[in-house]
């Protein structure tokens, strides 16, 4: 019986790389029935929608999608097609295994790190206040009155939101990945020493979840020290779990030390869909 899968070629190099990836997947012998759908600039130019409802429905129905890079065209009404896709489908986990492959040039001899990134909140919630707008001035005044914090009047402001529920979900996912892949340690990256009510909450939840998994070692690293350690001794890390923004950066760093983003996989996963 063939499995349903959606193919979104995307824009730019998208059709070329997804075509190559499809040939590789088909060569495994796993029976797949591909349904080609659109998203990105090409979709916007053809049907006036950079993320058509039909594409989302097809991915939900199939549960699996192979997607090329999608450009977010001006005037589409979307801040970012890829972020909108993740939010619409509830793809809360970004998974990037970074393993050094034979024949790929690298400064290292052995790297095998799995980066787990929370993908629904943090600064990526997209709540921003532009410089000079009335709402921004009101927020600046509120912050000074309520928190005693003085923010320059010519500032733009972004809201960083981290919840206990999303933190627990992604940390549990990281421990499940560790167990499934035979990994012995999970590392949580954070800046809880400074951002005590956001990163601090993420760390508090991570500690609680780690206590339920005594068979897997747990450590916590402040994000700046973590990035330095990853460059110095990547072999010391197995699974690294991070909030959204740090996960975005660390996943690229780890890809870079094994040859670049062109030689590592990248999946966005949710409940029953990816």
Which of the residues 67, 124, 199, 246 is marked catalytic? 124
Q: Burial code of 172-210, b = ≥16 C-beta within 10 A, e = fewer?
A: bbbbebbeeeebeebbbbbbbeebeebbbbbbebbeebb
Residue 215 bears catalytic tag: no
Torsion angle in degrees (nearest 10) through CA of 148, 151, 156, 159: -20
Edge to edge, the sheet with strand 239-242 lists 217-222, 185-190, 239-242, 112-118, 93-99, 267-269
Catalytic status, residue 26: no
- The C-alpha R_g of the chain, in whole angstroms, comes to 20
Q: Which of 191, 196, 199, 246 is catalytic?
A: 191
Q: Residue 11 catalytic? A: no
Encode 93-148 in three state secondary structure. Answer: EEEEEEECCCCCCCCCCCCEEEEEEECCCEHHHCCEECCCCHHHHHHHHHHHHHHC
For residue 45, give every residue at least 6 positions away whose Cβ sits within 8 Å of its Cβ, in sequence order, or none: 73
Active-site pick, 11, 122, 199, 248: 248
**Around 122, how many Cα atoms within 13 Å sit in the side-chain half-sphere?**
22
Q: Which of 97, 71, 118 is nearest to 247 (CA)?
A: 118
d(CA 30, CA 135): 54
| Contact status, residue 48 vs residue 39, Cβ threshold 8 Å | no
Give yes or no: 191 in active site: yes
What letter does residue 79 receive in the DSSP assignment? S
Q: Which residues are catalytic?
A: 124, 191, 224, 248
């Amino acid at each position: 019986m063939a499995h349903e899968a959606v193919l979104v070629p995307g824009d730019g190099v998208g059709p070329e790389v997804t075509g190559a990836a499809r040939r590789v997947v088909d060569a495994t012998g796993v029976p797949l029935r591909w349904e080609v759908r659109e998203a990105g600039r090409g979709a916007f130019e053809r049907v006036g929608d950079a993320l058509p409802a039909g594409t989302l429905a097809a991915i939900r129905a199939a549960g699996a999608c192979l997607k090329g890079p999608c450009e977010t065209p001006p005037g589409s009404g979307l801040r970012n097609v890829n972020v909108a896709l993740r939010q619409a489908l509830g793809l809360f986990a970004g998974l990037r295994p970074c393993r050094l492959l034979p024949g790929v040039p690298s400064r290292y001899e052995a790297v095998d790190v799995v980066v787990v990134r929370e993908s629904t909140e943090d600064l990526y919630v997209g709540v921003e206040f532009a410089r000079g707008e009335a709402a921004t001035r009101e927020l600046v005044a509120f912050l000074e009155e309520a928190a005693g914090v003085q923010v320059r009047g010519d500032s733009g402001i972004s809201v960083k939101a981290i919840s206990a529920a999303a933190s627990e979900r992604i940390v549990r996912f990281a421990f499940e990945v560790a167990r499934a892949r035979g990994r012995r340690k999970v590392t949580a990256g954070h800046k809880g020493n400074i951002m005590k009510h956001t990163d601090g909450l993420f760390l508090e939840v991570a500690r609680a979840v780690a206590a339920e998994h005594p068979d897997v070692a747990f450590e916590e690293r402040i994000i700046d020290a973590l990035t330095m350690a990853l460059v110095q001794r990547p072999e010391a890390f197995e699974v690294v779990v991070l909030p959204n923004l740090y996960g975005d950066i660390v996943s690229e760093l780890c890809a870079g030390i094994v040859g670049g983003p062109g030689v590592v996989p990248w999946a966005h996963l949710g409940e029953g869909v990816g």
